[in-house]
């Protein structure tokens, strides 16, 4: 008996082979097709707009929250902000003293002392001149007012001495009825005056530490607040922003000095009183771009009108316009250069927004904040330009 057929009969029939299972091939569906399946009725443009909308809304909420936080702690944040601007203003002097091998602390305190000495000396000189010329200015003001009344009487509006006396009497009566309101305003002003000096002391102390150890303070803040992956780029961008801020403060001092000198020179030639006061007022107000110099020029024209009449006032107005035009067309581009690259429209809108948010203080700090922010963002978007700029390193 053959062996193989016998074994086949004992083991039974061979199993029928199972058909092979079909292979499922997954074809990747494009992302756009998936969105089309999930959102068949929503246009693509509306989806993109909605994405922008909720992101901008979240950003607006964050900005408002930051503004509320800074406003709530304004007794701290405002002096610290002023101290940063003072440190940027003093930075060139501190660097010169450090290159002369002065200790950092001594260089910082010396620069701060020079600043305080200049401001106090200037204000003291102005006060002395105002006290000396005040009686004569009052007499000139009285004569100018009488001349104005006589001129108004010649106009066909019926404005004479009797009408003016009636208006003055009505204004006096109104002030008498508002005595309690005026007393409350005076008390509020006294409290604000005390807070001003407290904030000034805080700003000066903070400015000393920023001028002395500003670099260490910033590095420590970055290590605490910024994730490790972004520290290098943030540090480089902040240094570029600091360079822009220092350049702006340096140019602001130069522009303010030139504006004040031009207005004071014109007032001196025209023999307008309070020349030193006009110099100081123009110098300090010129730190508020566009608006400050205009206000100072208006005061100079008003003094010329009161003291010497409308002809001298027109000449003074022309001198102020010439000084402002020289500043905007020649001096500003020369001293700022490319370090502070801000469009004039951005300057105007920044001042307006700052004034709306925080009044005079907002208008004062709007452009420095804008200069730092623009340079910071540009350095983040283009790190190569930030490294090529070789920014100054704060103390």
Q: What is the pLDDT at residue 58?
A: 93
User: CA-CA distance, 178 to 183, in Å (whole number)?
Assistant: 9
Residues of the chain with pLDDT under 70: 1-40, 136-165, 175-176, 178-193, 289-290, 332-340, 384-395
- CA quadruple 80, 115, 127, 257: dihedral positive or negative? negative
**CA nearest 296: which of 331, 340, 327?**
327
User: CA-CA distance, 290 to 285, in Å (whole number)?
Assistant: 10
Asked whether 65 and 86 are in contact (CB, 8 A), the reply is no
Q: What is the pLDDT at residue 57?
A: 93
Asked whether 303 and 328 are in contact (CB, 8 A), the reply is no
- CA quadruple 299, 284, 75, 370: dihedral positive or negative? positive
Query: CA dihedral in degrees (307, 284, 128, 122; nearest 10)?
Result: -140
Asked whether 93 and 211 are in contact (CB, 8 A), the reply is no
Q: What is the pLDDT at residue 321?
A: 87
For residue 247, give every residue at least 6 positions away whose Cβ sits within 8 Å of its Cβ, in sequence order, or none: 336, 337, 339, 340, 371
Answer whether 0.85 is exceeded by the pTM: no
Q: What is the pLDDT at residue 390?
A: 45
- CA quadruple 65, 71, 76, 79: dihedral positive or negative? positive
Q: Following DSSP, what letter does each residue of 324-339 receive, concatenated?
A: HHHIIIIIHHHHHTTS
User: CA-CA distance, 347 to 371, in Å (whole number)?
Assistant: 9
User: CA-CA distance, 146 to 42, in Å (whole number)?
Assistant: 75
Asked whether 270 and 316 are in contact (CB, 8 A), the reply is yes
Structure tokens at 389: 């700029």
């Amino acid at each position: 008996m053959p062996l193989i057929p016998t074994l086949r009969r004992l083991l039974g029939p061979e199993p029928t082979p199972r058909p092979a299972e079909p292979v499922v091939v997954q074809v990747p569906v494009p992302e756009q097709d998936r969105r089309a399946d999930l959102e068949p009725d929503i246009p693509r443009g509306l989806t993109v707009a909605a994405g922008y909308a909720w992101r901008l809304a979240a950003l607006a909420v964050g900005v408002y929250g930051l503004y509320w936080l800074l406003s709530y702690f304004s007794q701290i944040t405002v002096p610290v902000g002023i101290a940063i601007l003072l440190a940027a203003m003093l930075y060139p002097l501190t660097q010169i003293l450090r290159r002369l091998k002065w200790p950092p602390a001594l260089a910082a305190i010396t620069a701060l002392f020079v600043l305080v000495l200049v401001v106090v000396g200037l204000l003291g000189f102005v006060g002395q001149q105002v006290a000396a010329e005040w009686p004569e200015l009052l007499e000139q003001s009285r004569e100018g007012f009488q001349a104005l009344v006589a001129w108004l009487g010649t106009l066909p509006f019926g404005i004479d001495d009797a009408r003016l006396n009636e208006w003055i009497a009505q204004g006096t009566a109104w002030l008498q009825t508002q005595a309690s309101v005026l007393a409350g305003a005076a008390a509020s002003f006294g409290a604000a005056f005390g807070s001003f000096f407290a904030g000034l002391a805080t700003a000066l102390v903070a400015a000393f530490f920023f001028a002395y150890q500003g670099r260490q303070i910033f590095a420590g803040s970055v290590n605490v607040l910024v994730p490790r992956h972004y520290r290098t780029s943030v540090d480089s961008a902040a240094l570029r922003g600091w360079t822009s801020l220092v350049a702006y403060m340096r140019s602001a001092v130069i522009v303010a000095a030139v504006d004040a000198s031009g207005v004071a020179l014109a007032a001196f030639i025209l023999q307008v009183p309070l020349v030193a006061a006009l110099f100081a007022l123009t110098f300090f107000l010129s730190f508020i771009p566009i608006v400050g110099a205009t206000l100072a020029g208006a005061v100079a024209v008003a003094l010329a009108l009161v003291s010497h009449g409308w002809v001298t006032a027109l000449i003074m107005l022309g001198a102020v316009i010439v000084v402002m035009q020289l500043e905007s067309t020649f001096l500003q581009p020369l001293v700022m250069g490319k370090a502070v690259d801000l469009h004039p429209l951005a300057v105007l809108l920044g001042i307006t927004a700052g004034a709306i948010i925080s009044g005079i203080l907002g208008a004062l700090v709007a452009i420095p904040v804008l200069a730092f922010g623009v340079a910071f963002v540009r350095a983040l978007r283009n790190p190569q330009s930030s490294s090529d700029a070789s920014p100054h390193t704060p103390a």
